Structure 1
Amino acid sequence: MLSASMVRTEPSSSATVRRSPIPVFRPPGQPVRTTAPPSAAAQAAAAFRNILALQPDGAGDWFSLGGALTEAGDGPAALRALTRAQNTSAATESEPLAEAFERAGLLLYAAADWTGAADAFRKARSLAPHRAEAHRKLGAALAQAGDPEGAVEALGEALRLDPTLADAQTNLVHLLVTLGRFDAAERAGRRAVALDPGNPDAYGNMVPLLEQTVRVAEALRQCGRATRLAPDRAAFHRNRLSLLLHEGRRDEAVAAGREAIRLAPADAETHLALAVALLASGQFREGWEEFEWRWETRQLDPVHRSFAQPEWTGAEDVAGRTVLLYAEQGLGDTLQFVRYAPLLAARGARVLVGCSPALVRLMERADGVSAAIAWGGDLPPFDLHIPMMSLPRAFATDLGSIPAPVPYLHADPADVALWRDRLPEDGRLRVGLVWAGSPRTVRGVASPIDRRRSLPLAALAPLADVPGVRFVSLQMGPGAAQLAEAPAGMDIADPMAGVRDFADTAALAETLDLVITVDTSVCHLAGGLGRPVWTLSRADACWRWLGNREDSPWYPTMRVFGQDRSGDWSGVVARLRAALTDFVAARGHAP
């Protein structure tokens, strides 16, 4: 049986690091077991190859070769042989061939060849469309291949043919949650429990649904049921870690993570989950070590590390050498961790930054940076490299040694002057607003974290009553469309059509008295510029806000306004309105 740790995860960027509980995705079935010794199966395959060399059109022989290769454990070759049998004019009977494709597909699935497995199961389904199992196995393979819509369709057909397939119902819950179809997911989840009340996954896969719909207490109860049924399943302890973080119970979350690692010491997702809990609780030294496991997960592309040059670990002398710092996750992460460039420069290094094209002009002016290069293009010569988010580990950063002198980011003074001309003074304080993050997608699925960190512009309507303020939109992306229905009385200038990149946004931010933003890249930009910035943070805060403490050791000019309850921004906005009123009065701009 394939490992129960075979799961689907969220999510990227730094938000993908702080993830929701992880549902267990049930494998499609038991891999085939070789009934003959491998040598005998290999000998049989060799014999059929000899026959086919003389009679290449023998469908039965291709079928037999596929069976022998399956017995020998060679899934890719078995799939090729069976496909040849299917395509031969004198095709074999469809039912046995369908079963053979399923067997080959299970081998490919066990080898994590999701595309090959899906191809095999798809062929089985075409030959025997009445077989519910063929549809179910195809759904499992498509889910792992990153096609949730196709997986839902296949599992739905499997359940139409056989409504008693508990595994299909359980898998369907997870897929519907990732697609944001919560009502359908809940119906599927209740059916899964009714079909197989002794299946721990039926309860475990309800956990992400309940967290996404802000029912954390119930999610913890379901997680408890799953854990009682399968106490040795690390995934369930990892789920509990995430839920405990959601409730601010960071010490308990760390304990849950340690138990998960005891059960699955080599599981990268579990180590990364523990890293998040450690960092959120301020245990940085151990947290950075665990955070290195991110490279072993499916979140990051390991090709980033495929350089001929060695990685800098913090110990090597960098004097007179060129060090490449490169972006690995979101824009905000680059803006936050480029703060380490001056520390490298102080050791005598020449620092290059590889980053998103949208950041190049700004990075060129960052402290300690000699040059910036758009990531994905040709790189100039360098001696050492290090990914941005490994820098705290290399510098042995703990809670008391975060390098936080600001500003370390700088706008071009000429650009600042241009933006001042575009937004002339009128006696009021100018306050920048960002109310929505980027609805990024991973494998075609929108990030649920973005839904939780964003709020509608209309929710900020109480700020319109604060006198002496002119609001300036810094909102990019789909969220900007909400300006067409801005709250009554909220005077919002929208200069973003003239913004080309983050260098322009930085120059615009320099003309503002205050930036109010949700937890997205703009809060790191404003913080790195040393501008007053108020960050609105969801209840299950990103690890870097340390449980939504009001100040931030990363940014001296930042104030964090954290939710009391997930999904409820009313308390945050009420506190925001009071703080903004005081801010205006302190600046002497109240009428």
Structure 2
Amino acid sequence: MSRSAAAEAAPESVRALPAAPKPVAAAGDSASPEALDRINEAVKQLRMHTVLPLLSRAVAEVRADHHRQAAELAVKALEIDERCGVAWHILAICREKAGDFTNSLKCYESALSLNPDEIEIANDLGRLAYVMGMKEIAENLFARYLLSNPGSAEGSNNLACAQRDQLRFEDAIETLRPVIYANPDNALLWNTLGTILSEQGNMDQGQTFFDEALRLQPDFPKARYNRANCILALGDALTALKECEAALPGVALESERSMMRLARATMLIASGDLERGWDAYEERLNADFSDVTHYVVDKPTWTPEADMAGKRMLVVGEQGLGDEILFANVIPDILEALGPDGDLSVAVERRLIPLFRRSFPQANIDRHDTYKVDHHTVRVVKWIDADDQIDFWAPMASPLRRFRRSVDAFPNRPAFLKADPARVAYWKEKLAEAGDGPKVGIVWKSLSMSSARIRYYSPFDQWSPVLKTPGVRFVNLQYGDRAAELAEARDKLGVDIWEPPGIDLKDDLDEVAALTCALDLVVGPATCTLNIAAACGAPVWQICTPGAWPLLGTDRYPWYPQMRVFLPPAYNRWTPVMAEVAEALAKEF
């Protein structure tokens, strides 16, 4: 990195960005008192005395959380000596704290190349890479740190976190095993072991390790928060809520407080307390939340008390595709509140535009665009400009605060989206050509199977009793890579799952809507496809998980009144629930 690059990494480049998300799984802090003491000692060893006072002041500014001033001093030092690794390290920390991860990464790399023996720089760079989702790079850097610091509890913890997030659970456990034996009183290690077990779906075992972490350190808020999530997953939302609320006062970082407040909102919703839950769910829009989406919409923000009659409103889809469809449940209510003299514009993911335009012909439907800016998610609506007379706007979930303040407020509406009737007829003809028997569409996994999501989906081999149902013609609705599962069904079970021809199940969602409406039944876990089918009024059976918040504290799916829900007795207990689905399928057809 050159002097000009150092100037580009100066504070001006991120003036508009919010505070950086902080690591919540990896341990350590690049600006901790201990870390700054080490940097200060390195400053004192510098031979070029012209930069020494600048960097001494920079360290003092970092201690005071004055990262902009510290960065300016580091840049001045680099203008004198661009090969000063300590100055690059300080600038890297300042850029990280400001949320400018891209330039921070470059600064850390410069610092490490100039001071390759300063292993703490590798550790800091590893934590930043971890936060940025660069898990393999983070793992390599943590492993490098451990080579110089064998047996380090922090280093082992961070390496295990990186391995866990790559679904290498056994490797993560083996990384922790020797260091836990050597440090049995270290609550952090027991907490991380608990996260590995719980993300595999072993909630009871995970909770045992969170309990041990809390026995060792009763005021450990992250362990209590993780324990709350385990309890929620086991189906006890009210106890989970109490645990989460008990964890909050002990949290120091605002990013972690925001994360826990959002979890608390989810627990309120999962318990059926929608009045408080939807209000608290606004926390997802807090700039301090690590995964916040920043909406670039220069219009007044809608509030639940707003007089909507005759007004012009913009609603922007949020989160994933399935969420956009789920939250669209409220669009008919918005249209009714705006009335015949009002005007509604809705920005959705581009693949949903044809379906939404047909379903809501009285609304203006177009796309939103989403970008990553230095690890921050930014969503824009390019077709709405400053001249558009929009009275107010809202992310799509926010109107739930007004229109769905109780479970009883969910309408008994068979559908709120409308598939193309001509294409439904086309698929009925195609399905008739596929052979005799009822046509049952199946989907079994999400396109994104991260460590935090994999526990929500039954392994494909657990589908065996369902697929063996006599007389049923199964139709593939699974998008993404599914060749291995289709081959397994054919070779091991003798079941030829029919592949609908000429359709892109991932991108052609209007066609997916028509196909699902032509089927006799759609079965699977919560996915975009299942949401489309249910929103269009198709008969749907969802294989849910205990504690799922969309159940809203009930044993049904209020969003889609025709949906039937199947719940396993506990996480990872897929055998009984799949047997229940198979039995129900045999009775249905």
Instruction: Specify the TM-score bucket, using the shorter chain as the normaliser.
Output: 0.7 to 0.9
Q: How far is the alpha carbon of 1:481 from its aligned partner?
A: 5.1
Do structure 1's residue 573 and structure 2's residue 568 form an aligned pair? no
Describe how 1:229-378 pairs up with structure 2 within 5 A: 229-264=216-251, 267-296=257-286, 297-302=289-294, 304=295, 306-347=296-337, 348=339, 349-367=342-360, 370-376=363-369, 378=382
From 378, 399, 403, the counterpart of 1:391: 399
Per-residue deviation, residues 319-352 of structure 1 (Å, max 9, x unmatched): 2222222111111111112121111211213222
Alignment identity in percent?
27
Q: How far is the alpha carbon of 1:211 from its aligned partner?
A: 0.7
Checking the alignment, whether the CA contact within 8 Å between 2:75 and 2:91 is kept in structure 1 is no
Please identify the structure whose Cα radius of gyration is greater.
Answer: 1
Partner of 1:16: none
From 34, 39, 50, the counterpart of 1:61: 50
From 71, 82, 88, the counterpart of 1:76: 71
Per-residue deviation, residues 496-551 of structure 1 (Å, max 9, x unmatched): 53245221111111211111122112222222122211011234x5311346x653
Checking the alignment, whether the CA contact within 8 Å between 1:66 and 1:82 is kept in structure 2 is yes
1:496–1:562 CA distance, 2 compared to 1 (3 A): farther
Query: Partners in 1 of 2:417 and 2:568 — Cα distance?
Result: 29
From 517, 526, 542, the counterpart of 1:519: 526
Q: Secondary structure at the match of 1:373?
A: strand
The count of corresponding residues between Structure 1 and Structure 2 is 527
Q: How far is the alpha carbon of 1:565 from its aligned partner?
A: 3.5
Checking the alignment, whether the CA contact within 8 Å between 2:55 and 2:77 is kept in structure 1 is yes
Describe how 1:416-495 pairs up with structure 2 within 5 A: 416-424=424-432, 426-439=435-448, 447-479=450-482, 482-487=485-490, 488-495=493-500
Partner of 2:29: 27
Q: Secondary structure at the match of 1:478?
A: coil
1:75–1:556 CA distance, 2 compared to 1 (3 A): same
1:344–1:222 CA distance, 2 compared to 1 (3 A): same
Q: Secondary structure at the match of 1:214?
A: coil
Per-residue deviation, residues 472-494 of structure 1 (Å, max 9, x unmatched): 11111123553234243424221
Checking the alignment, whether the CA contact within 8 Å between 1:59 and 1:85 is kept in structure 2 is no
Checking the alignment, whether the CA contact within 8 Å between 2:26 and 2:157 is kept in structure 1 is no
Q: How far is the alpha carbon of 1:428 from its aligned partner?
A: 1.8
Query: Partners in 2 of 1:343 and 1:155 — Cα distance?
Result: 51
1:183–1:228 CA distance, 2 compared to 1 (3 A): same
1:496–1:352 CA distance, 2 compared to 1 (3 A): farther
Query: Partners in 1 of 2:362 and 2:463 — Cα distance?
Result: 38
Partner of 2:550: 544
1:319–1:447 CA distance, 2 compared to 1 (3 A): same
From 529, 545, 561, the counterpart of 1:556: 561
1:205–1:130 CA distance, 2 compared to 1 (3 A): same
Query: Structure 1 stretch 267-276 or stretch 556-565: which is displaced more?
Result: 556-565
Q: How far is the alpha carbon of 1:239 from its aligned partner?
A: 0.9
Q: Secondary structure at the match of 2:351?
A: helix
Per-residue deviation, residues 384-438 of structure 1 (Å, max 9, x unmatched): 2111111211325212212341211111112222222322265521111111211
Query: Partners in 2 of 1:363 and 1:580 — Cα distance?
Result: 31
Query: Partners in 1 of 2:501 and 2:352 — Cα distance?
Result: 16
Checking the alignment, whether the CA contact within 8 Å between 1:135 and 1:154 is kept in structure 2 is yes
From 213, 218, 239, the counterpart of 2:200: 213
Q: Secondary structure at the match of 1:400?
A: helix
Partner of 2:541: 534
Q: How far is the alpha carbon of 1:253 from its aligned partner?
A: 0.3
Kindly provide the amino acid, as one letter, of the partner of residue 511 in structure 2. Answer: D
Kindly provide the amino acid, as one letter, of the partner of residue 349 in structure 2. Answer: S
1:26–1:218 CA distance, 2 compared to 1 (3 A): farther
Kindly provide the amino acid, as one letter, of the partner of residue 293 in structure 1. Answer: E
Q: CA RMSD in A?
A: 2.9
From 146, 153, 156, the counterpart of 2:143: 156
Q: How far is the alpha carbon of 1:233 from its aligned partner?
A: 3.5
Query: Partners in 2 of 1:301 and 1:72 — Cα distance?
Result: 30
1:551–1:496 CA distance, 2 compared to 1 (3 A): farther
Do structure 1's residue 402 and structure 2's residue 418 form an aligned pair? no
Q: Secondary structure at the match of 2:399?
A: helix
Do structure 1's residue 185 and structure 2's residue 172 form an aligned pair? yes
1:223–1:448 CA distance, 2 compared to 1 (3 A): same
Query: Partners in 2 of 1:517 and 1:220 — Cα distance?
Result: 28
Query: Partners in 2 of 1:469 and 1:228 — Cα distance?
Result: 53
Checking the alignment, whether the CA contact within 8 Å between 1:173 and 1:188 is kept in structure 2 is yes
1:478–1:75 CA distance, 2 compared to 1 (3 A): farther
Do structure 1's residue 140 and structure 2's residue 127 form an aligned pair? yes
Per-residue deviation, residues 123-151 of structure 1 (Å, max 9, x unmatched): 34323323332322222232233322222
Partner of 2:65: none
Q: How far is the alpha carbon of 1:224 from its aligned partner?
A: 2.0
Query: Partners in 2 of 1:110 and 1:510 — Cα distance?
Result: 50
Q: How far is the alpha carbon of 1:77 from its aligned partner?
A: 2.5
Q: How far is the alpha carbon of 1:152 from its aligned partner?
A: 1.4
Query: Partners in 2 of 1:250 and 1:78 — Cα distance?
Result: 50
Query: Partners in 2 of 1:185 and 1:450 — Cα distance?
Result: 17
Partner of 2:373: none
Query: Partners in 1 of 2:36 and 2:447 — Cα distance?
Result: 49
Kindly provide the amino acid, as one letter, of the partner of residue 576 in structure 2. Answer: G
Normalised by the length of structure 1, the TM-score is: 0.81
1:214–1:467 CA distance, 2 compared to 1 (3 A): closer
Per-residue deviation, residues 22-57 of structure 1 (Å, max 9, x unmatched): x3632245248999xxxxxxxxxxxxxxxxxxxxxx
Checking the alignment, whether the CA contact within 8 Å between 2:203 and 2:571 is kept in structure 1 is no
Checking the alignment, whether the CA contact within 8 Å between 2:329 and 2:416 is kept in structure 1 is yes
Unmatched 5+ stretches in structure 1? 9-22, 36-57, 89-96, 440-445, 585-591
